[in-house]
A and B are shown apart, each in its own frame.
Chain A
Amino acid sequence: MSIERLREAVKKILPEVDVVIGYRQGFDPLHATPYFISQPEQVDQLIWNPLCVQNLCSYLPFLKGKVGVIVKGCDSRTIVQYMQEKLIEREKIKVIGVPCLQVISVKKVMAKIDYQVAEEVAFEGENVIVKTPKETKTIPLAEVMPRKCLTCQLATPLQYDILAGEAIQANKPAEAFEEIKEFEQLSLEERRRYWEREFDRCIRCYACRNACPMCICQDRCVAESRDPHWTSQRANLTEKFMFHMIHSVHLAGRCVGCGECERVCPMDIPVAKIKKKISMDLKELFDYQAGINPDDLPPMYTFKVEEAKIKEHEL
């Protein structure tokens, strides 16, 4: 898809909305950053490439007035989930859909370039070319794909008012939760130690929470409140573990798998894994996937008198 078409689309809807949320280059060529456009002249700075990773929909519930937003296929599940939960007024939102086959994981690129400063970044065919003071490195996009892209089924967004580009078909295998099933091969003890090791790094900066499009409590999160007093300020494992359980349980049946929680973690904790496990179970239990059908009901907020898949547990 050409950047021109996107800029056109933005220019086209700008008069109808207060602001359009897109991307521009961040502090270096390897980092894109959300861009709030309210003036036509800003549009020239707008960019679109696999570095545009952030899920811009996360801003929507907190913005008043009419808003335009650039939405990738994966991000569009956020819109759908907001609709399910009536967290946005869809008619107040102008969704500019962008076809997308993959973004890239900046963390993975950083690892490939030894965490040097990226001076230039270019995309050629299936590669991303990164120039650092030391070297110029050509990296196949496939090698720096974030996990969510590996099983992406939504090359074209589920929801859009304008599609900047041609609708395209996803070219990835469907989610089979291999990663989860693999992990479940480990012994209980190993799993326990794994999480203790990972959560031990948590500094409770709440980046995962605040970047999560479904964490709509934000400032009111129970993780910081004293009433209710679910967690203390202790920096011990129990409290860190508890916080991540709160996040995961609150996301049960709501997580749209955008992976923001994991992407933004400065300590590189695989926090999306737990949510994915829950999503896997709820899919099996209730044949439910968050953010696919606007008319669905999140499974934790409804029930059936006879639950086909829940058997009584015997002791």
Chain B
Amino acid sequence: MAECGFLAKEKINTLIEALAKKFQVFVPVLEGEVVLFRGFESGKSLCLSRPANLPPKGIIFPASDVLFRFNFQKDPEDPKKVSVELKENRDFPLTIIFGCRPCDAQGFTIYDRVYLTPETVDPYYRERREKTTIITLACNAPFPGCFCTSVGRGPATTEGSDLLMTELEKGYLFVPITEKGKEIIKAAEFEDGSPYQEEAKKVQENAAALVRKPFEHLEKLPQKLLSLFENTQFWEKEAAKCISCGACTYLCPTCYCFNITDEQVGNTGERIRSWDSCMFFHFTLEASGHNPRPNKYHRLRNRVNHKFSYYPQKYNGVIACCGCGRCIRYCPMSVDISEIVAHAQGA
């Protein structure tokens, strides 16, 4: 039996204070009306009442990451002789993501398949991933737009988390999922959590029951979507209201596409890896000026298919969508990916 821990609500900050001594801890805080992850500073009050507007993906997969710096040196004797020196940017501190939601944590497992496949390991990603412990807060109610249960997950799914906390009446139950999670339980001051497991189970079941189910039975979906690939009419209709911005993809815990640019001034510069979005025209724009995805419906189709067809086909059926609902909640035009999937099933 996993020795789980319990902590009274008022003790949460003390816990984080303690963790912050060893780790850099990212916590959800309120800025204006926005919840987002910021490095913890003592005195900062957490916001655990709802998921962050922006998932914590940037902590492991930064919006803009300097991979290395380069520096050209010129031979003062012969300015035609130029040598270049590279400085890799790869020493990251031990990190904790505290209070993200199960869907956010699962996002990283979607990344892992891509960035940690033995043949193509991404060193920058791995470094941060291994050094990061994820302490997840289960949802005890759904939030606008979310549909985790439809994609085979739930408000308390543990996949991707190292430690799962559930909010109960008096406090939080902490259930370690991985070794990293156990470390935390050992390290910090917890009451024994076992007496609270029943209550937690109920809370989690209630929550799961409340989550909307826009669609089910995803087994045939990947094939179905492929068969619709050429159905321009279908996609144009679904994409009509889309304005082709990047809100959905940048807020998505499972979107991992990036762009690489070199920025040089004078003799020094940086190679930067930054988030990119398949919803942008420039994403597939070729040097020739040709663009294989010139219209917004091409791009929306790619987003849907990538999550519900290409990815599952490549990675034994795993849907690359955790159902967090952010792309729906924050879409300027309320484009609803779950609705599109349902339509596709019905088409």
Is B a genuine binding partner of A? yes
* A interface with B by C-beta (< 8 Å): 26-28, 30-36, 54, 58-59, 107, 110-111, 114-118, 133, 197, 201, 203-207, 209-211, 218-220, 224-226, 232-236, 260, 263-264, 266-268
In angstroms, Cα B32 to Cα A264, docked, is 16
Evaluate contact between B274 and A264: CB separation under 8 angstroms. Answer: no
Interface-located stretch among B89-97, B148-156, B246-254, B312-320: B246-254
In angstroms, Cα B282 to Cα A204, docked, is 14
Evaluate contact between B333 and A33: CB separation under 8 angstroms. Answer: yes
Chain A min CB distance to B238 (Å) = 10
**Contact among B33, B62, B328 for A107, CB-based, below 8 A:** B33
The answer to whether B330 has its CB under 8 Å from any CB of chain A is yes
The answer to whether B334 has its CB under 8 Å from any CB of chain A is yes
At the interface, is chain A mostly helix, strand, loop or mixed? loop
Interface centre among B62, B143, B240 (most CB of A within 10 A): B240
A-B pairs with beta carbons under 8 A, tally: 138
The answer to whether B268 has its CB under 8 Å from any CB of chain A is no
User: Which residues of A sit under 8 angstroms from B243, Cβ to Cβ?
Assistant: 58, 207, 210-211
The answer to whether B338 has its CB under 8 Å from any CB of chain A is yes
Interface-located stretch among B49-57, B72-80, B197-205: B49-57
User: With contacts A32-B334, A235-B274 known, is A266 near B241, CB below 8 A?
Assistant: no
Chain B min CB distance to A198 (Å) = 8
**Contact among A27, A111, A133, A236 for B328, CB-based, below 8 A:** A27
Evaluate contact between A232 and B263: CB separation under 8 angstroms. Answer: yes
Evaluate contact between A26 and B245: CB separation under 8 angstroms. Answer: no
**Contact among B241, B245, B281 for A36, CB-based, below 8 A:** B241
In angstroms, Cα B335 to Cα A26, docked, is 8
The answer to whether B228 has its CB under 8 Å from any CB of chain A is no
Chain B min CB distance to A177 (Å) = 22
* B interface with A by C-beta (< 8 Å): 31-34, 36, 49-50, 53-54, 62-64, 141-145, 210, 212, 237, 240-241, 243-247, 249-251, 259, 261, 263, 272, 274-275, 277, 280-282, 326, 328, 330, 332-336, 338-339
**Contact among A26, A32, A107, A266 for B54, CB-based, below 8 A:** A266
Q: Which A residue sits closest to B53, measured CB to CB?
A: A266
Evaluate contact between B62 and A117: CB separation under 8 angstroms. Answer: no
Chain B min CB distance to A52 (Å) = 11
User: Which residues of A sit under 8 angstroms from B245, Cβ to Cβ?
Assistant: 205-207, 209-211, 264
Q: Which B residue sits closest to A197, measured CB to CB?
A: B31
Q: Which B residue sits closest to A56, measured CB to CB?
A: B241
User: Which residues of A sit under 8 angstroms from B259, Cβ to Cβ?
Assistant: 233
In angstroms, Cα B62 to Cα A206, docked, is 18
Evaluate contact between A207 and B246: CB separation under 8 angstroms. Answer: yes
At the interface, is chain B mostly helix, strand, loop or mixed? loop
**Contact among A36, A116, A204 for B141, CB-based, below 8 A:** A116
Evaluate contact between B247 and A207: CB separation under 8 angstroms. Answer: yes
Chain B min CB distance to A230 (Å) = 13
Evaluate contact between A210 and B244: CB separation under 8 angstroms. Answer: yes
User: With contacts A233-B274, A235-B62 known, is A36 near B237, CB below 8 A?
Assistant: yes
Evaluate contact between A206 and B246: CB separation under 8 angstroms. Answer: yes
What are 11 residue pairs bridging A and B, where the CB atoms are less than 8 Å apart in the complex? A34-B333, A117-B212, A201-B31, A207-B245, A209-B245, A218-B244, A233-B261, A266-B247, A266-B251, A267-B54, A268-B34
In angstroms, Cα B32 to Cα A116, docked, is 18
User: Which residues of B sit under 8 angstroms from A32, Cβ to Cβ?
Assistant: 334
User: Which residues of A sit under 8 angstroms from B275, Cβ to Cβ?
Assistant: 203
In angstroms, Cα B339 to Cα A217, docked, is 29
User: Which residues of A sit under 8 angstroms from B332, Cβ to Cβ?
Assistant: 54, 207, 210-211, 260, 263-264
User: Which residues of B sit under 8 angstroms from A226, Cβ to Cβ?
Assistant: 261
Evaluate contact between B63 and A203: CB separation under 8 angstroms. Answer: yes
User: Which residues of A sit under 8 angstroms from B241, Cβ to Cβ?
Assistant: 33-36, 59
Evaluate contact between A111 and B33: CB separation under 8 angstroms. Answer: yes
In angstroms, Cα B51 to Cα A116, docked, is 11
Q: Which B residue sits closest to A202, measured CB to CB?
A: B63
Chain B min CB distance to A148 (Å) = 16
In angstroms, Cα B250 to Cα A210, docked, is 15
Evaluate contact between A267 and B53: CB separation under 8 angstroms. Answer: yes
Chain B min CB distance to A20 (Å) = 12
User: Which residues of A sit under 8 angstroms from B64, Cβ to Cβ?
Assistant: 233-236
In angstroms, Cα B33 to Cα A226, docked, is 34
User: Which residues of B sit under 8 angstroms from A224, Cβ to Cβ?
Assistant: 280, 282
Evaluate contact between B53 and A33: CB separation under 8 angstroms. Answer: no
**Contact among A26, A111, A236 for B334, CB-based, below 8 A:** A26
Evaluate contact between B144 and A30: CB separation under 8 angstroms. Answer: yes
Evaluate contact between A205 and B250: CB separation under 8 angstroms. Answer: yes
In angstroms, Cα B336 to Cα A32, docked, is 11
User: Which residues of A sit under 8 angstroms from B142, Cβ to Cβ?
Assistant: 117
User: Which residues of B sit under 8 angstroms from A232, Cβ to Cβ?
Assistant: 261, 263, 272
User: Which residues of A sit under 8 angstroms from B31, Cβ to Cβ?
Assistant: 197, 201
Evaluate contact between B250 and A203: CB separation under 8 angstroms. Answer: yes
Evaluate contact between A268 and B144: CB separation under 8 angstroms. Answer: no
Evaluate contact between B63 and A235: CB separation under 8 angstroms. Answer: yes
User: Which residues of A sit under 8 angstroms from B145, Cβ to Cβ?
Assistant: 27-28
**Contact among B49, B249, B281 for A219, CB-based, below 8 A:** B281
Evaluate contact between B339 and A27: CB separation under 8 angstroms. Answer: yes
In angstroms, Cα B328 to Cα A114, docked, is 18
Interface centre among B210, B241, B249 (most CB of A within 10 A): B241
Evaluate contact between A118 and B144: CB separation under 8 angstroms. Answer: yes
Chain B min CB distance to A129 (Å) = 17
Chain B min CB distance to A103 (Å) = 14
User: Which residues of B sit under 8 angstroms from A233, Cβ to Cβ?
Assistant: 64, 259, 261, 263, 272, 274
Q: Which A residue sits closest to B240, measured CB to CB?
A: A36
Chain A min CB distance to B235 (Å) = 13
In angstroms, Cα B246 to Cα A210, docked, is 9
In angstroms, Cα B275 to Cα A205, docked, is 10
User: With contacts A115-B143, A117-B142, A234-B274 known, is A33 near B336, CB below 8 A?
Assistant: yes
Known: A54-B333, A206-B246, A207-B330. 14 other contacts (CB 8 A): A27-B145, A31-B144, A31-B334, A32-B334, A33-B333, A36-B241, A110-B144, A114-B49, A117-B210, A206-B245, A218-B281, A234-B272, A266-B54, A268-B53
